[in-house]
A and B are shown apart, each in its own frame.
Chain A
């Protein structure tokens, strides 16, 4: 084939590739854009929903954003299995290592900044707002990367018990956390489908938990792209699992599951809040409601968010003969 094509007959087309012409006539070709398939993220893989369902979110102008997976209860259960499987490995890592991985996530996000800005613009943000949101999201990851190996020191204690024991209390991750991320629909600039997502995931995994997250229903693009960032950040598969779909369908499963230890909900819907708190009684999930947080402000980040999915463990051990030891100095 190649031999048959004479150099003189090659012309450079619009898209920069050389292509042959027939009988010297130029072929008019406009490059067909490759559209991205927005899939879900479970156990470090990008499957489609097992249900085979999809939905089509649109922007304010009514433009179709994508065919997005409409995740099912079964997808959630698969994701919980992946998240549970990842708990011991992730919580067992050195806090320093978790810190490095969160930092790596920030690096990857920085590197793909343009793509996120583009997606936010597709979802109705202005360029300035989109840039601000991505920058804040990157900085938020850096912020929590720094906390990974420090919050324990802040919230631990050595307890001066009156008996002859050494006694200390330390925070430990609660386990698997289900998160219904900020939906990003509320007053422009207040919520962010990316910033909100990053702001709720980061403290949970900084503390050694794993999670299953339901992305914004109406603005899901950045969540899926963020999964690609996670996938290339040395974050072990299963630590963060991201589903797309409808909170109205999935919220109750997020809090029903007996192998989930904590649930985070970020919307103001008081009916859902009540449902979540009621169902949490099933296995006494820890519930955090972040409906009043402005993720753009200083209050959108603090080590207290990490503590919301931590347990305090107190350990005792006898100290030999402390009373009778006399002066050892």
Chain B
């Protein structure tokens, strides 16, 4: 132990992790979860074989082993699901007293809590995220979200002053692969609370927890057709977006696809909420508590392997402390445990898919080519599965592609600045505006920065915090509409005089 601690010239102590530090394996058990060999489509309260007759494999990205196979919904299947949702809306859900609607949502939330461990295990197996994240963040936050919105169902008349509200009808919802269960809860909870019915499609690489949620919905005796869960890839999503009897599209995913959706629904009366990409600026001032800020940076970019739309992927450090921040960041990166997502000590799990790994690798190559200075932790990587070491680029220029484009992986671009005005200019110089962060000990500076940064969620002296009561969503090309909180109700309602 004594050997492991070496004194540096400065008053900071550097931990040497190359020597005697290792953790014994602490794996979560796969037996906590039941995964069927094959999953059909959940339409009208029942499991139905796809009319398309097609299934596709879903794998564990940490081992590349097949976990299950999942139905691929075709246009006819989507139509069936929308009809079921319409029927449930007209005959049951719209007419149900709001307080009864609320109780169904509460019930779903409760069963999710009861099955939390199983859901966490499946989320980690299917998506590659560390079990400590799915256990401590994804699953509890998802259940809390349902719990929060359940309570809104019979209180909507208090939400919008001087207006009555009416539900929209059938909501088509498309969720991403980075937080599958949580995103399903973000979408289903407000839709049901406001009296809409749902057709939801999870991302094709991570369908399993959403299908597990369908089982929970069935167990909760939610009236058939109120929530329909259909699986598939982009074509299935397009069929939902283009279906004539859908009143609202809620999409979380890339800005590219979000724009396609916006064009596709242009000639219709469909409402939309789009929660898209980001390239968040995370700003460290010289007066910030540096150690805490470094922890914040690690959380901002390496949380969920950096597969986070609001990840703090552009770090702006004030010149006077840049050296120190980068040194401490490198040291901290070296201590991150990369590997088996099922291990409770793992900090960084597997990249979600081979395709995403290729995108990340492409950007790392671009970063090197653009002349930025790369550093990656020296950790060993498992031989199977999709992996990426935590990586930082320093000496990045504002115009570099790695400072402009979303990478969606554990890759951080570091830039420096001198003055407040300069860093605001740089931070806001992005087509995106989902989130932002600032680290400083000075209160008035915090408010100056948080007010001027053009982003929907701003974290001061913290990062990547989420809560059901807290509205989430972007400025500019990061999308529109809010999810969470009181403001998350509006996208699912019409206001009437």
- Listed in ascending order, the chain A residues whose CB lies under 8 Å from chain B are 154, 157, 159-163, 165, 167, 169, 174, 261, 270, 274-278, 280-284, 286, 298-299, 302, 304, 311-318
Contacts and interface: CB of A to CB of B under 8 A. Distances in A.
29 contacts: A157-B487, A159-B469, A161-B467, A162-B144, A162-B467, A165-B465, A167-B469, A169-B470, A277-B265, A277-B267, A278-B262, A278-B263, A280-B262, A280-B266, A281-B266, A283-B477, A284-B259, A284-B274, A284-B476, A284-B478, A304-B495, A311-B475, A313-B455, A314-B471, A314-B472, A316-B458, A317-B459, A317-B462, A318-B461
A277 B354 CA distance: 35
B455 A167 contact: no
Contact of A159 (B163, B431, B471): B471
Nearest to A168: B470
Given A162-B144, A163-B467, 17 more contacts: A160-B469, A161-B469, A161-B470, A162-B469, A165-B462, A167-B467, A275-B266, A277-B262, A277-B266, A278-B262, A281-B262, A284-B258, A284-B478, A313-B458, A313-B475, A316-B462, A317-B460
A63 to B, nearest CB: 39
B497 interface: yes
A240 to B, nearest CB: 22
A159 B485 CA distance: 7
B238 interface: no
Contacts of A174: 475
B155 to A, nearest CB: 14
B437 to A, nearest CB: 9
Contacts of B225: none
Contacts, number: 113
B50 interface: no
Contacts of B458: 313-316
Contact of B482 (A163, A276, A286, A312): A312
Given A163-B465, A316-B465, A317-B462, A281 B259 contact: yes
A299 B497 contact: yes
A313 B473 CA distance: 8
A159 B470 contact: yes
Interface string B144-177: 1000000000000000011100000000000000
Contact of A315 (B431, B450, B475): B450
Nearest to B459: A316
Contact of B262 (A284, A304, A315): A284
A169 B471 contact: yes
A283 B431 contact: yes
Contacts of A167: 467, 469-470
Nearest to B487: A312
A282 B473 CA distance: 18
A299 B162 CA distance: 12
A302 B266 CA distance: 26
Contact of A284 (B162, B465, B480, B487): B480
A1 B478 CA distance: 74
B267 A316 contact: no
Contacts of A275: 266
Nearest to B480: A286
B366 to A, nearest CB: 23
A315 B450 CA distance: 7
Nearest to A154: B161
Given A160-B469, A161-B470, A274-B267, A316 B457 contact: yes
Contacts of A159: 467, 469-471, 485
A169 B475 contact: no
Nearest to B460: A317
Contact of B263 (A281, A313, A318): A281
B4 to A, nearest CB: 30
B453 to A, nearest CB: 9
Contacts of B267: 270, 274, 277-278
B456 interface: yes
Contacts of B471: 157, 159, 169, 312, 314
B290 interface: no
B457 A284 contact: no
Nearest 8 A-B pairs (CB), nearest first? Answer: A277-B266, A281-B262, A161-B467, A278-B266, A274-B267, A159-B469, A281-B259, A317-B460
Nearest to B486: A157
A18 to B, nearest CB: 62
B432 to A, nearest CB: 10
B446 interface: yes
Contacts of A282: 259
Interface in B189-234: none
B312 interface: no
A161 B485 CA distance: 10
A283 B479 CA distance: 9
A312 B473 contact: yes
A277 B261 CA distance: 11
Contacts of A316: 457-460, 462, 465, 470
A287 to B, nearest CB: 9
B111 to A, nearest CB: 20
A102 to B, nearest CB: 21
A54 B388 CA distance: 62
A299 to B, nearest CB: 5
A14 B495 CA distance: 61
A159 B163 CA distance: 22
Contact of B497 (A165, A283, A298): A298
Interface in B257-281: 258-260, 262-263, 265-267, 274, 276
Contacts of B163: 304
